[in-house]
Structure 1
Amino acid sequence: MKKAADVLTELARPSNVATHSSMALVGSVDAAGAAEDKKRQEKELDALRRKPKLQAIPTREIGSFQPAPWDVLHTLARAVALARRGAGRGLAEHWGSLKYSQALTGGSDAYMKLSAEGRENADYYKALQSDELGIGFGLAMAKQVLTLRYPQHMVSIIPADTALRAGWALTSRDKGPRAGYRYRPRFFAEVWKPGEPSRVFPIETKGNHSNATTSHDQLASASAHVEAVHIGSWNETPSLVFSTELPVEGPLTIHALHAAGGEGRLHHSAENAGKSLNYFVEDENFFPGIQPPTKGDKVLQKEPGFHVTPERHEWFRHVLARTSAAGLTAFAGDSAATVQYLTKRQGSRHFTGFAHAAAASVQDAHEELLGIQFVGTDHVFRLNRTRVEAFSGVSKDLFHHLEAGRVEQYRREIYVRRDAWPVDTWDSKWRGPVSICPDGSVLAMRVLT
């Protein structure tokens, strides 16, 4: 059994991560999709509508991927802060990432792989571990790709279900005309710069403890999920799909593809050009469906999915910005600040009132990490019999903007500071791993003395 201090040291150590994106992968994914459609046909089910013309991602965008395990867990924690999957009901979902503190191993001269504990967990919690680590690695890779592609922009990751619920009823529990379509992306990446239209990428991330063949199947399925959201014209929304292969033996590999497209831009509408992101958003009740282009004079029937048409661009940009802000305040443990950013259907009620024991988080902690003051919440638990403390939060000055509902000011400031954040993964004064993201969030852990 490793000492807790050794575990923390490994969490801060960057490792090489193998990536795979090629025309051969495109062919394998297309073949996997065709095989799945044949099975569906035998069951008298319709073929799935998948993203056409998936492409390999250039090596310059996916190569040299060397995250520390702690950075991957930070990405996972931020992504699920609004997940509402467990008893925490969205109040402390992000602490679930800590169960993978000993799941990964590697080093600067090695490729990252499952540790002995990660391999053991794969035998008992295969689906959960591969799914959640797949989210962490896929989104970390997505952020690298988009940051390299758009170097003068910020990249925000937003849970797609939470964002879509502001306009559509996704399940029978939601009020409004129900979509009834289970294929949709898990995340959106908003690529933005103050004063310019945003660019939005639907993202689907998956993971498995099997092999490359399983990743081919997962990418074929992921293609159907990202195809379910169109922003602008038919089949012109750029997308990213990932499947992380976490074998019990050997290095993990991120298989990645993308779909190009000239749309996905959220333009400002003339009548709402001056509307601030600080204003509340109300639930809309859009009818689901994506409108294909007409054939001559014939208007085709809508396809299942969600269509952000031009008149909805400004509204959707507003929703994405405020949902992203909600994820940050939830990550910092402030349920009262989170409520203001979510509509009723998005789950604002989950951040009010009663919370289950050991599931709530409270914004009452202050820490200085790598020379920056942060406010947030903490969590104490035992790691191999040693008491350790984890801290999640947001830079103090930025959090005050979010707490007061000043989304515009927050976004302007993080854009200016996007390249100024520390890149160190260890704070000697804190005595533990530290991960700071360009959005101003931080995740840190140390041994309690």
Structure 2
Amino acid sequence: MLEPAQNVLEKLVQSSNFSLKSDPSLVGAVASAAADDDKDRAEKQTEKGAKDTENALRRKPELRPVHRGSQQSIDATFWHLLHVLAQGLALSRRGAARGLAEHWGALKYNQALTGDARSFMELSAEGKETAKEHYKAIQSRELGTGFALVSARRILEQRYPDRIVSIVPADTALFAGWKKLGRYKPQYFAEVWKPRERSLVIPIACKGHHSNASTSHSQLASASAHVEQVHIGPWNETPVLIFSTELPPDGPVTVNTLCAKGSGGWLSNPRGESGKFDVQPDQENFFPDIHLPTEADESPATVPGFHVTPDRYEWFARVLARTAAAGVTAFAGDGGATAQYLTDRQGRKHFTGFTHAAAGSVRDACHTLFGIKFSGTDHIFRLNGTRVEAFSGVANDLLQLLVEGRVERYRHGVYERRSTWPSGSWSNSWNGPVSIHADGTVLAMRVLP
């Protein structure tokens, strides 16, 4: 018998926990997995008659645990997790016609997890059933993304409590400067920022699976090759975060994570007294190479990858701020506002052209939640046979700033209000779960009358 939709919504606001594992033994296991993978690649190349080095991967060196304790738990509601995942998917198609509505796909997981404050999250009966079908790889990848981004936010917010953490799709940002990205690249950038100060940018690679810990070791070894493709500042000084989420059919969710530290990742604050992020950066055509350190008498040497050198700091700072703004307006369903923040290669034209039926969103919904007026888009679907309404939007005054192209003022407004947003996860007047993030976005759902 199907569970009543209202009961499902009430469970979405229950707080539960998941484990964040990061210790020296994980570092060693990932190093071993990387060595085994390199050996397999070399053997395959030898069989083909090619040189071993032709298929060798560069991996991020000096990986380490993210915290001193071997394991810690993170508490979160299921609804918060779905909100984070939905925002991570809002630009996942880089502006393709279905990109505006891509984040609604997060709602297919509203019954995939179970747990409460006294236990750890794990796959529910529905989640386990789904994991048995062909949908298994998609489920582990997308839920893995959600858990990784929740973890990344929590880690960085603890490290930099006076800053805002924005998550930006890496491919969307990189397309502003490079024509072709290739297979290996991080999935996201975390921009850790504060008005009038330079930002810290951290590449993030995240994966997920339904297997055991050894699979996480292999996934983290692979993730280390993805983040190594981006260098911001000096060679091998860019801090990174890599994640592999275990979603076993029997047992709790565990997020395995490692990091690399360094003096890089810091961008210059764009020059100008005001409106520095309001100016669209040029679409560049950089050559995809990373400059290696050399002695004065040596010829310049490079390896393939994406290098944000000091002369590109201000440009990349604008790209990240405006791509993050595009993600916010896309989440609210405003294609016109989104298009102004993207270059052609990033997908600007897809937000202004024809949108296929059932694949687009329109910003035509307004709701007041916890006394705050939000504007955005809605989606009506059936949950266990009952019609429900989902709403995603942005605080009206902040969204209006982005519609007008005022990214600088939007960022100041977000920072000024970062500690004033309601902390509740259920609105009685709305009669459903509500999640509000520091960037002014909201995700809410309720049973239709």
**Which TM-score tier does this pair reach, normalised by the shorter chain?**
over 0.9
Q: Provide the residue aligned with 2:19 in structure 1.
A: 18
Structure 1 segments (4+ residues) deviating >6 Å: 272-275
Q: Please tell me the root mean square deviation across aligned C-alpha atoms, in Å.
A: 1.6
Give the match for residue 93 of structure 2.
84
Deviations 1:64-102 (A, max 9, x none): 411111111100110110111897431211101011111
Give the match for residue 225 of structure 1. 226
| Residues 254-275 of structure 1: per-residue CA shift (max 9 Å, x gap) | 00110001110001366x6766
2:324 aligned with 1:324: yes
Q: Does 1:154 align with 2:164?
A: yes
AA of the residue aligned to 2:233: G
Task: Look up the match of 1:34.
Answer: 35
State the alpha-carbon separation in 2 of the partners of residues 66 and 304 from structure 1.
Answer: 39
Matches within 5 A, 1:69-108: 69-84=78-93, 88-108=97-117
Which residue is equivalent to 1:267? 268
Structure-1 separation of matches of 2:41 and 2:319 = 36
Q: What residue number does 2:145 align with?
A: 135
If the length of structure 1 is used for normalisation, what is the TM-score?
0.95
Distance 1:304 1:87 in 2: 27
- Mapped to 1, the partners of 2:432 and 2:407 lie a distance apart of 31
Deviations 1:35-90 (A, max 9, x none): 00001101124321000010001157983411111111100110110111897431
Check whether the contact 2:243–2:256 (CA below 8 A) recurs between aligned residues: yes
**CA deviation vs aligned residue, 1:410-435 (integer Å, no higher than 9, x gap):** 00011011111111111111111111
Decide which moves more: 287-296 or 187-196. Answer: 287-296
Note the residue ranges of structure 2 that are not aligned, 5 or more in a row.
46-53
Residue 246 of structure 1 aligns with an amino acid whose one-letter code is L
Cα gap change, 1:390 to 1:207, in 2 (>3 Å) = same
Number of residue pairs matched?
Answer: 439
Provide the residue aligned with 2:237 in structure 1: 236
**How do 1:192-341 and structure 2 match up within 5 A?**
192-268=193-269, 276-295=276-295, 297-341=297-341
CA contact (8 A) 1:104 1:115 kept: yes
User: What residue identity is the alignment partner of 1:94?
Assistant: H
Matched letter for residue 260 of structure 1: K
Conserved? CA contact 2:95–2:351, under 8 Å: no
Matched residue of 1:333: which SS?
A: coil
Alignment partner, residue 436 of structure 1: 436
In structure 2, C-alpha distance between the alignment counterparts of 1:377 and 1:39, rounded to whole Å: 49
Q: Which segment drifts farther, 37-46 or 70-79?
A: 37-46
Alpha carbons 1:276, 1:408 under 8 Å: kept: yes
Question: Could you tell me which amino acid in structure 1 is paired with residue 405 of structure 2?
Answer: G
Whether the aligned pair in 2 keeps the contact of 1:19 and 1:63 (CA below 8 Å) is yes
For 2:79, the aligned partner's letter is W
Distance in 1 separating the partners of 2:425 and 2:299: 55
Query: Partner of 2:123 in structure 1?
Result: 114
State the distance in 2 between where 1:316 and 1:274 align.
18
Q: Equivalent residue of 1:57, what SS? A: coil
Residue 231 of structure 2 aligns to a residue whose secondary structure is strand
The 8 Å contact of residues 376 and 393 in structure 1, kept in 2 or not, is answered as: yes
> What is the CA deviation profile of residues 180-203 of structure 1, one whole-angstrom value per residue up to 9, with x for unaligned ones?
x32100100000111111000000
Q: 1:405 to 1:62 in 2, by over 3 A?
A: farther
CA distance in 2, matches of 1:139, 1:227: 19
Q: Structure 1 residues 325 and 49 mapped into 2: Cα distance closer, same or farther (>3 Å)? A: same
Please tell me whether the aligned partners of residues 280 and 341 of structure 1 are also in contact (alpha carbons under 8 angstroms): yes
> Separation in 2 of the partners of 1:346 and 1:48?
27
Measure the CA separation in 2 of the matches of 1:329 and 1:248.
37
Matched, 1:168 2:178: yes
8 Å contact from structure 2 (residues 12, 77) kept in 1: yes
